[in-house]
C-alpha cells in the first residue's frame, strides 16, 4: 500500500467498473490503479456525457497470481451473478485494512461478500450511472449519475475517491431505504425482459397494473426488512416507465437480447426469497423469477 496516495483495484471493469475507474483515476487521492479483468484489454477509453474522451492506461492483470501486494480499495463491479468468480481476486488484494466497495444492483451487497471479509470493511454502493460497453475497455458514459453509500467513515472515504469526477458521490443515513427504492424501480424491469419489448410496452393492456403489483410486492417485503417505503412508490415507478423513451432498453432486457445471463435473482429473486422469510406473498415476482430463470436454463439431456 502507498503511504500518500491510495491504491485501488477494480474487479470487472465493464460498463460501470470501467467508467468509475476512468473517473477516479483523476482524483488526487488515487495513486496506483489496477484493473482485474476476465477479458484482456489494453486501456480504458470512456466517452463522457459531455463528449469528452477519457483515456486511461492503468495496470491490467488477468490472473490473481499477478497481484503482488494488497491495496487500499477494491471496487467490485461484476454482475451480481459473477460474485464467486470475482471473489477469487480478493485473497491477494486484501490487507488488514483494505475496503471493498460493491458496485452492483440489488440489496444484498454485503451478504454477497460477507463470506470473504469482515462485513464492516464492505461498502455497499447504489449505482445510478447509465453506461454501456461497446468493446472491452470502450465505454459510453451516458449521464453523469450518482453513487450512494452508507453514512460513516468508510462511506466518506469512498466519496472522497470521486473528487475530480462528474459522478456525484454521496452518503445517506438510510441506505436500506435507498437500496430498496432502487430495487422497486429495478424489479419492474422484469416485464421488459419477459416480453422482449422495450420501455413502451408499459402502455400495453394490463402491463402498468402488473408492474404496479410487482413493485407493491417489493415495497411490502422492503418494509418487512425495515425500509421506509412510501405508498407512492408503485405509482412513481409506473409513471417513470410511462414517461421514459418507448425504445429504452433496460439492462435485463439488454442482457436477454444479447443472450447473456440476467441478474434476475438480484432484482426479483431476492424479493421472493426475503418474502418467504418474512411471510410476505410475492406471486408476481415469483412467476417472473421462474420464467427468467427458465430463459437461461440448459437441460442436462
Ligand atoms: N451499466 C449500467 O448502466 C448500470 C447502471 C446501474 C447499475 N448497474 C449494475 O452494475 C453492475 C455491473 O454492471 P455492468 O453494466 O458494468 O456490467 P458489464 O458491463 O457486463 O461489466 C461486468 C464486468 O465484469 C467482468 N467480469 C466478470 N467476471 C469477472 C471475473 N471473474 N474477473 C474479472 N472480471 C470479471 C466482465 O468481464 P467480461 O469483459 O469478460 O464480460 C465485465 O467486464 C451490475 O450489478 C449492474 O446491474 C449497471
Residues 241-250 have pLDDT tens digits of 999 999 999 9
Structural contact between residues 265 and 81, judged by C-beta atoms closer than 8 angstroms: yes
Work out the pLDDT band at 297, boundaries 50, 70, 90. Answer: confident
Q: Does 72 score more than 70 pLDDT?
A: yes
Neighbouring C-beta atoms of residue 115, cutoff 10 Å: 9
261, 200 Cβ separation under 8 angstroms: no
Which atom of ligand 1 is closest in space to residue 80's alpha carbon?
45
First CA to last CA across the chain, in angstroms? Answer: 50
Spatial separation of the C-alpha atoms in residues 190 and 250, rounded to whole Å: 9
Q: Average pLDDT, stretch 282-294?
A: 97
Rounded to the nearest 10 degrees, the angle between the axes of helix 207-224 and helix 283-295 is: 110
Give the Cβ contact number of residue 174 at 10 Å.
14
SS3 at position 266? helix
Query: What pLDDT was estimated at residue 301?
Result: 52
In this prediction, residue 61 carries a pLDDT of 98
Check pocket membership of 248 for ligand 1, CB cut-off 6 A: no
Q: Which atom of ligand 1 is nearest to the CA of 39?
A: 40
**Ligand 1: distance of its center to the CA of 13 in Å?**
7
Q: Is 55 a catalytic residue?
A: no
What is the structure's pLDDT at 300? 61
Instruction: Name the residue of 77, 83, 128, 138 whose CB sits within 8 Å of the most ligand 1 atoms, as the mutation to test its pocket.
Output: 77
14 lines ligand 1 (CB under 6 A): yes
> Which residue's alpha carbon is at the smallest distance from atom 3 of ligand 1?
130
- Percent of the chain surpassing pLDDT 70: 98
Distance CA 146, CA 23 (A): 13
Q: How far apart are CA 299 and CA 301, in angstroms?
A: 5
Dist. CA 203 → ligand 1 center (Å): 30
Q: State if residue 192 touches ligand 1 by the CB under 6 angstroms criterion.
A: no
pTM for the whole structure: 0.96
Q: Compute the distance from residue 231 Cα to the ligand 1 centre, in Å.
A: 32
Kindly state the DSSP code that residue 298 receives in the 8-state scheme: -
- Compute CA 206 distance to the chain's CA centroid, rounded to the nearest angstrom: 29
Could you identify the residue written with the cell 488515487? 30
Report d(CA 202, CA 199) in Å as an integer.
6
C-alpha dihedral over 290, 125, 97, 82, to 10 degrees? 30
Phi, psi of 53 (to 5 degrees): -105, 120
Pairing mode of beta strands 73-76, 138-141 = unpaired
Q: Which of the listed residues 15, 80, 83, 260 should we mutate to test ligand 1's pocket, taking the one with most ligand atoms within 8 A of CB?
A: 15
Q: Is the pLDDT of residue 299 over 70?
A: no
Lowest mean pLDDT among 56-70, 175-189, 285-299: 285-299
Please give the distance, rounded to the nearest whole angstrom, from the Cα atom of residue 9 to the centre of ligand 1: 15
> Closest ligand 1 atom to the C-alpha of 36?
33
Mean model confidence pLDDT for the chain: 96
The CA angle 244-247-250, to the nearest 5 degrees, is 75
Predicted confidence at residue 100, as pLDDT, reads: 98
Distance CA 220, CA 263 (A): 21
In short, whether 263's Cβ falls inside 6 Å of ligand 1 is yes
Residue 84 CB less than 6 A away from ligand 1:
no
Amino acid at each position: 500500500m502507498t503511504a500518500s496516495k491510495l491504491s485501488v483495484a477494480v474487479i470487472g471493469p465493464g460498463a460501470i467498473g470501467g467508467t468509475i475507474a476512468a473517473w477516479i483515476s483523476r482524483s488526487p487521492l488515487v495513486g496506483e490503479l489496477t484493473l482485474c479483468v476476465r477479458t484482456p484489454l489494453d486501456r480504458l477509453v470512456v466517452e463522457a456525457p459531455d463528449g469528452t474522451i477519457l483515456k486511461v492506461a492503468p495496470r491490467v492483470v488477468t490472473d490473481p497470481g499477478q497481484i503482488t501486494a494488497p491495496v487500499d480499495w477494491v471496487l467490485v463491479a461484476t454482475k451480481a451473478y459473477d460474485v464467486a468468480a470475482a471473489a477469487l481476486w480478493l485473497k491477494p488484494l486484501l490487507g488488514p485494512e483494505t475496503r471493498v466497495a460493491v458496485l452492483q444492483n440489488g440489496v444484498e451487497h454485503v451478504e454477497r461478500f460477507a463470506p470473504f471479509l469482515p462485513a464492516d470493511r464492505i461498502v455497499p454502493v447504489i449505482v445510478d450511472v447509465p453506461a454501456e460497453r461497446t468493446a472491452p475497455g470502450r465505454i459510453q458514459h451516458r449521464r453523469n449519475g450518482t453513487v450512494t453509500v452508507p453514512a460513516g467513515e468508510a462511506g466518506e472515504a469512498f466519496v472522497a475517491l470521486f473528487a475530480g469526477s462528474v459522478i456525484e458521490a454521496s452518503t445517506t443515513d438510510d441506505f436500506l431505504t435507498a437500496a430498496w427504492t432502487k430495487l422497486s424501480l429495478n424489479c419492474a424491469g422484469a416485464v421488459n425482459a419477459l416480453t422482449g419489448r422495450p420501455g413502451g410496452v408499459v402502455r400495453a393492456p394490463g402491463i402498468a397494473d402488473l408492474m404496479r403489483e410487482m413493485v407493491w410486492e417489493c415495497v411490502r417485503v422492503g418494509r418487512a426488512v425495515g425500509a421506509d417505503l412510501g405508498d407512492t412508490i408503485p405509482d412513481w415507478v409506473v409513471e417513470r416507465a410511462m414517461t421514459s423513451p418507448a425504445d429504452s432498453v433496460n439492462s435485463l432486457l439488454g442482457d436477454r437480447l444479447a443472450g447473456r445471463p440476467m441478474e434476475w435473482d438480484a432484482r426479483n429473486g431476492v424479493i421472493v426469497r426475503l418474502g418467504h422469510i418474512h411471510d410476505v406473498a410475492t406471486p408476481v415476482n415469483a412467476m417472473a423469477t421462474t420464467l427468467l430463470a427458465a430463459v437461461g436454463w440448459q437441460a442436462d439431456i
